[in-house]
Structures are given as structure tokens and as C-alpha cells.
Amino acid sequence: MKRRILLVDDDLAVLLTLKAVLELHGFEVETAGSSAEAFARMESGVYHMVISDLRMETEEAGLGIIRTARRQVYDPATALLTAYPPSGEHWRTEHRDGEDWTGKNSDSLLIKPLGTGDLLRQVEALLVRQADKQLRQQNSAAKAQETKRHAG
């Protein structure tokens, strides 16, 4: 099964280039050229990963897309794509696991221009990390259910 990525950017050249690179390396890629289109795709599709440009309709449109992606039931890996790396405390956007965009989780901030090797390495690392997190959550839930069954 191909891993599905939602790629969001309002720059058509960037969108099509990254889509082509990812598809050549075995990913299934859907694109969105705006926040509204991205929100609609996340509601109607299931993705292993959502990558969004930071600056589109507003300076922080991409953060809204990433926040929405993290609330999806299918729990995709997420990455923010930007040519303008954020700095300062107001950019600290907490992940569900306590990491933030400017701290330990720097791999989830993809800085343009991005070479093919860097893009693929970071995407693979994020997908593996997300799969590990989901497996730990499933194991924890199974253990809790087993403990509950033995206690009752």
C-alpha cells in the first residue's frame, strides 16, 4: 500500500515539483492550493502525512492546517514547509506529545529550498516516528484493556 501525503502550497511550481519528486519515490500525493482546499481534503480523505506551506492566505495559514491535521482521527504525521523559518515564542506550537516546531522537532520544519535527498529523508523519518507513536498508543490501549479485564 502506498503511503498517502496531502501536500499544501499556494505556489503551483513548488506544489507540482514536490508532488513529482514524492510520487517518483513511491508516495501517493494529493495537493491543495489553499487552506480551504486542504481542510476539505482532510475531511474527505485519509493521509499518512500532511505537509503544508506556512505562508499562504495569511502569514500563519499553514499552522491552522497543521493543527487541523493533528485533530484528524487518522492521526497523520505533519510537517510545515517554509522559506522563512519562524522564530520567537509566539511561534511555539505544541505537538500533542509536547514537542514544538522550533525545538526538538526540527525535522518537522522543512526549509525551502529543499533538496530531494533532504526532503525524502525527513519525510521518511517523520512517517517512521508517527508509526512508532501510533504503535505505542495501540499497545498501551491494549495493555490497559487487558488490565481492566483481569481486574473486573
Query: pTM, whole model, 2 decimals?
Result: 0.80
78: nearest Cα among 91, 90, 94: 94
Please report the pLDDT score of residue 86 as a whole number: 62
- Coil, strand or helix: which one is 59? coil
Instruction: Say if residue 12's pLDDT is above 60.
Output: yes
Q: What pLDDT, on a 0 to 100 scale, did the predictor assign at position 101?
A: 47
The residue ranking higher by pLDDT, 106 or 10, is 10
User: What confidence tier does 41 reach under pLDDT thresholds 50, 70, 90?
Assistant: very high
pLDDT of residue 37: 97
Burial category of 5 from C-beta neighbours within 10 Å (exposed 0-12, middle 13-18, buried 19 and up): buried
- Taking residue 7's Cβ as centre, other Cβ atoms within 10 Å add up to 26
Q: Is the bond preceding 76 in cis, omega lying within 30 degrees of 0?
A: no
Read off the pLDDT of each residue in 33-37 and give the average, rounded to a whole number. Answer: 96
CATH superfamily of 4-151: Response regulator (3.40.50.2300)
- pLDDT for the residue 143: 84
Name the residue with higher pLDDT: 51 or 151: 51
Separation CA 61–CA 49 (nearest Å): 17
Residue 99 scores a pLDDT above 70: no
Mean pLDDT of all residues in 74-92: 75
- Note whether 47 and 24 are within 8 A (CB): no
Instruction: Give the length of the chain.
Output: 152
Which pLDDT belongs to residue 58?
87
- Per-domain boundaries in the chain: 4-151
Q: Is the pLDDT of residue 89 over 70?
A: no
